[in-house]
Amino acid sequence: MKIERRQILRLLSFSGAASLLGFRAYQSQAQCLTTTDILGPFYLPGAPEMAQLAPAGAPGTPLFITGTVYANDCQSPIPNAKVDVWHANDGGGYEDDHYRGVVYTGDNGQYTFQTILPGKYLNGAQFRPRHFHYKVSVTGTELTTQIYFEGDTSIPADPWASSPDVVERIIPLSEDAQNNLHGVADIYLDVEPVINSQGGQNAEPGQAAIRYISPNPMAGQGRVQVFLPKATTLSLQIYSLQGTLVAVPANGKNFPAGIHEWEIRAENRHGLQLQPGIYILRMLADGQPVDAKRFLVGR
């Protein structure tokens, strides 16, 4: 089933037809950790390992979610973290056999799944806001939480979603030309990063990868950090959601093995401010695309 996840990752990464956005800049350890939320009554253990949560032809608005699972230093991605997701169908009902799945993060800590926008359901007299339930785990650590969506009018009256510590878990959604929705839900687990160890649960990725883009959303400028396992000819390219190349922060120079960081500006190649929206940072190592992450340029 991991092949399916990789196929979707590749589709999202390089087609330009679908994209997602990030929602948080790390600040300090205490601030970055993702807060918990209630488990709710509809969790079922043993969900299938699959990245397509909604059954084929299911009613509802198609929705693509991606994110990166980070360690408690707020910047080290965690490979092979288990992300268990479940949510209501378009009508607000939970189903035993659909709308649930397990995906694992890749070497760059990134995960993705596709489904439909969760429906609302009544909790007493109030509708719960649309939400995803998450259980995110690595060996010895498990986080149970929920992800909500900006602009949901049911949030203020919901006893859980209206909590002040939920703010970082209310994510914006963007619509593409095909009316699909896209969002990013980064998760910060309270586990230590393990740098350059071998076989650790969150060991430094063995493949060239973008470690993070920060802040995300970005206003005027930000930073990109990459990991190279060996000396590499590296290029970094920024594409719009429509697939147009808009900027080239790094262009074919050779870099030694290790962690490298660049300042990037939210500007195109002509020095003009990028329009607010979703952009894709694509990384090429020795001429081959090896990684891509999305970021949001804010207003």
Contact footprint for Fe ion (CB under 5 A)? 40
How near is the Cβ of 84 to Fe ion at its closest, in Å?
A: 14
CB 92 within 8 A of CB 99: no
Residue nearest to Fe ion (CB): 40
CB 24 within 8 A of CB 216: yes
Judging by beta carbons within 10 Å of its beta carbon (0-12, 13-18, 19+), is residue 127 exposed, middle or buried? middle
How near is the Cβ of 244 to Fe ion at its closest, in Å?
A: 38
- The full length of the chain comes to 299
How near is the Cβ of 85 to Fe ion at its closest, in Å?
A: 11
How near is the Cβ of 38 to Fe ion at its closest, in Å?
A: 9
Edge-first strand order for the sheet with 82-87 is 100-104, 82-87, 132-138, 141-149, 170-171
Closer to Fe ion at the Cβ: 40 or 298? Answer: 40
How near is the Cβ of 41 to Fe ion at its closest, in Å?
A: 8
Q: How many CB atoms lie within 10 A of CB 152?
A: 18
Closer to Fe ion at the Cβ: 134 or 212? Answer: 134
How near is the Cβ of 247 to Fe ion at its closest, in Å?
A: 40
How near is the Cβ of 100 to Fe ion at its closest, in Å?
A: 11
Compute the 3-state secondary structure of the chain and give helix, strand, coil in percent, each to the nearest 5: 10, 40, 50
Closer to Fe ion at the Cβ: 98 or 265? Answer: 98
Closer to Fe ion at the Cβ: 89 or 237? Answer: 89
What is the rounded distance in angstroms from the CA atom of residue 223 to the CA atom of residue 293? 13
Record the tokens describing residue 18, joined without a space.
């679908």
What is the rounded distance in angstroms from the CA atom of residue 245 to the CA atom of residue 284? 14
Closer to Fe ion at the Cβ: 40 or 60? Answer: 40
Pairing of strands 221-228, 258-265: antiparallel
273-287 burial, b if ≥16 CB within 10 A, otherwise e? ebeeebbbbbbbbee
Closer to Fe ion at the Cβ: 40 or 62? Answer: 40
Whole-number CA gyration radius for the chain: 19
Closer to Fe ion at the Cβ: 40 or 289? Answer: 40
Of the candidates 127, 124, 125, 145, the one whose C-alpha atom is nearest the C-alpha of residue 136 is: 145
